[in-house]
Structure 1
Amino acid sequence: MKKVIAAINMTLDGVFDHTAIQPDEEVHQHYTDLLKDSEVILYGRITFELMKYWQTFLKDPSEEKSMNDFAIAIDQIPKIVFSNKLKDTDWDTARLATQDIEKEVLALKESSEKDILLGSRSMIIQLMKWDLIDEYQFCVHPLIAGKGLSLFEEMHDRTLLKLIKTKIFSSGAIILYYEPLRG
């Protein structure tokens, strides 16, 4: 059974808006490697539609290799999208979920050979409530957004975490790796 990993970028003030941060080559490489080492990534509809941005780099590559590499990795990893509105994903490596989130994740945990990534806030919040996340990777970028949706705005229960390691980037961004404290 592999881990369910919640990996997300955020600002120092807890805002998770992708437009608030500007990852550098080093951060892009980290996420490219994470995608390559994982079995599948789960998205809610909104984040999934935002991630379609990376398809443009497949047709019209950037001058920045790390962005192109990330685009290839995000294109290749299987994606499961949870949506009541979408009828089709319009992405060869993506499919709509056929079960509710909890059942889908439990089935993936039993059958996956590699880790399962959560790629959107909605997935993290829902799976936190069911205690199905095995590791959190918060990439905190050195800026204060001042406004925006907080990652944990909808959480009302206390959750204890244990810091297991850190990774510091030359840009000042830092990934904090946590495990939930259970029992």
Structure 2
Amino acid sequence: MRKVVAAFNMTLDGFCDHTAGIPDEEIHCHYTALLNNAAVIVYGRITYQLMEYWRPFVQTPSGEKSKDEFALAIDKIQKVVFSNSLKSIDWERAKLADGELKDEIIKLKQQSGGDILVGSRSLIIQLMNLNLIDEFQLCIYPVVVRQGLPLFENIDDRIIFKLLKTKTFARGSVLLYYQPTSVID
């Protein structure tokens, strides 16, 4: 059975902002390996459209090895997009979800193969409320932005986490691996 992994970047003050992070070669390499070892990544519309940024680098590499390898990994992985507004998508390894989030994730979990990555804040929140996330991998950037979207917003229950391990990057970012252990009303 596959594991659902919420892998997300956030600032030290708890906000999700793709422009606030300070990804470097080491972080790109980490996420490339994560993508290469997973089977599928699920996105909401907004994050999916943000990730389309990487598509041109497959045909026209940037010359920065870590970015180009990340672009190849994000291009290669199967992508399932949950959207009420998109009617079609044209990224070769992407498809619109056929059903409701809960049903689709349960169906994906029952298959064999690599992990299911969750790369959208909105889906992480929904899946937390459905108790369907098996592991969190939170990359905390050493920056305070003071505003934005908090990751843990609109969570129905209090959740206790067990720290599985940590990884520290050379420029000060920290990756925290957590497993939810219990839900407390």
TM range (shorter): over 0.9
User: Which deviations, in whole Å up to 9, do the C-alpha atoms of 1:2-56 show, x marking residues without a partner?
Assistant: 2100000000001111111120000000000000000100000000000000012
Say whether the 8 Å CA contact 2:10–2:141 is kept in structure 1.
yes
Cross-structure match for 1:117: 117
User: Which deviations, in whole Å up to 9, do the C-alpha atoms of 1:50-102 show, x marking residues without a partner?
Assistant: 00000121232112110000000000000000001101111010000001000
Cross-structure match for 1:151: 151
Larger strand proportion, structure 1 or 2?
A: 2
Amino acid at match of 2:48: F
Say whether the 8 Å CA contact 1:41–1:119 is kept in structure 2.
yes
What is the distance in 2 between the residues matched to 1:19 and 1:60? Answer: 23
Query: What secondary structure does 1:19 align onto?
Result: coil
What is the distance in 2 between the residues matched to 1:49 and 1:155? Answer: 25
Say whether the 8 Å CA contact 2:162–2:181 is kept in structure 1.
yes
1:82 aligns with 2:82: yes
Say whether the 8 Å CA contact 1:39–1:112 is kept in structure 2.
no
After the TM superposition, which residues 60-71 of structure 1 pair with which residues of structure 2 at under 5 Å, given as runs?
Answer: 60-71=60-71
1:182 positional shift: 3.0
- Alpha-carbon RMSD across the aligned residues, in angstroms, is 1.0
Query: What secondary structure does 1:143 align onto?
Result: coil
1:146 positional shift: 1.4
Residue range with higher mean Cα deviation, 171-180 or 52-61: 52-61
* Structure 2 length-normalised TM: 0.96
Where do 5+ consecutive residues of structure 2 fail to align? none
1:72 aligns with 2:96: no
Which of structure 1's runs of 4+ aligned residues deviate more than 4 A?
Answer: none
Cross-structure match for 1:23: 23
What is the distance in 1 between the residues matched to 2:174 and 2:10? Answer: 10
* Structure 1 length-normalised TM: 0.97
Say whether the 8 Å CA contact 2:129–2:156 is kept in structure 1.
no
Say whether the 8 Å CA contact 2:138–2:175 is kept in structure 1.
yes
Query: May I ask how many residue pairs the two structures share in their alignment?
Result: 183
